[in-house]
Amino acid sequence: MNRRRQVAVISLIVLFDLLGFGLIIPQLGVYAKLYQASAATQGLLIASYSMMQFLFAPLLGRWSDRIGRRPVLIISLLTSLLGHLLFAMSRDLRLLFLSR
């Protein structure tokens, strides 16, 4: 794969990740109020995404070194897709946390 195509693929991956994060954040407050979550719970719900990134980044980095970047990126994207689908189908606060 040439350099230009690699940069395009990586840029698309980052775009999808940021869109998934950016489009969901405004909806978290709406869902949290719908499920009568306290302000503290709403804060935890919003922070949970960053907390999971903080916890799993070193693990994914090690896996990436062992099995390669591509499989880890594919697994990460599929996991994000699953999380977004779960978020869309959430009917209670517990599923919202799980989707994040």
pTM: 0.78
Can you read off the two tokens belonging to residue 38?
A: 């306290």
Q: Residue 1 pLDDT more than 80? A: no
pLDDT digits (tens, 9 = 90+) for 77-88: 899 889 989 988
Q: What total number of domains does the chain contain?
A: 1
Residue range of the domain that includes 19:
3-99
- Locate tokens 């977004």: which residue? 84
Asked if 35 contacts 93 with a C-beta cutoff of 8 angstroms, the reply is yes
